[in-house]
Structure 1
Amino acid sequence: MITLVKANLADIPAMQALVVSEVKEGVILNRSEDEVATNIRSYVLAKEGEKLIGYTALHIHSRRVAEIRSLIVDAAYRGKRIGQKLVEFAVEEAKVLKVQEEVLVLTYTPGFFEKLGFREINKEAIPEHKIWTDCIKCIHFPVCNEVALVYKIS
């Protein structure tokens, strides 16, 4: 049985191990253990028993905008709607936290997010501080092929 649980500090080594290949490929940004620890309350994990099989984070940029980050599902578990459940959890969490307008995502798989109600936006609409705090760390910066999408909070 797969369950979704909030992360704790003891989960960090398994979280770091799960994203190694995607970080090397530049699909997911490298985040240090300290950065993950600082933001541990943002993460939700998908587990099968005690085994970590996926996770994502909901990062709050402002009262108006939150962002889904670092969505990963173990390759052996893909195609089983685990990513969908993680995204839906994050969107619901944004609503509970009273994010006023939208949930942002930058992705190489826009079709996945479009099926969940996200709509593509122009990258120029992304909050400027996002570019200077995250995007500048990316191996693809400044030539980025990610697509920006938002989910409008209703």
Structure 2
Amino acid sequence: MPLLQIQQLQYALPDGSQPFPALSHAFPFRRTGLVGRNGCGKSLLGQLLAGQLAPHAGHVLREGGIHLLPQELDPDTHPTVAHLAEMAETLTALRRVRDGSLDERDYQLLQDRWDCESSFQQLLSDAGLNGISLDTSSAAFRRGLADSGRAQQSP
């Protein structure tokens, strides 16, 4: 089963126009980029795929979580990959516990996610993002994605 499927997806803008009426596609588990001219609806489609917006018609079927990487990142808000994945607080708690913390808040935050760091590292590896870790800066991560995209486009 694909990681992500859209079936007859429709979204109407306030002026009534539809950037992609009745769009259907299945995305396999691999890195995928949305490419198109400015203003054609790439960001809008990304928000629909990630569940940040609800379609007016059709369905988005997701297996697992989908994260939308914004075009512009505030390095103060998202300094690392852990922040982009919304795992920074959990990762910090895990590392404090490893260093001997007995703070109950750390254990409550972790709950049953003791393998979160290794599990996320495996997801990155499965997606072909070797060399990226939760500690990688968001700027380096974006540069790496851009560089790998250019490499894949080269003949």
Give the TM-score taking structure 1 as reference length: 0.30
Give the TM-score taking structure 2 as reference length: 0.30
From the CA coordinates, give the structure whose radius of gyration is larger: 2
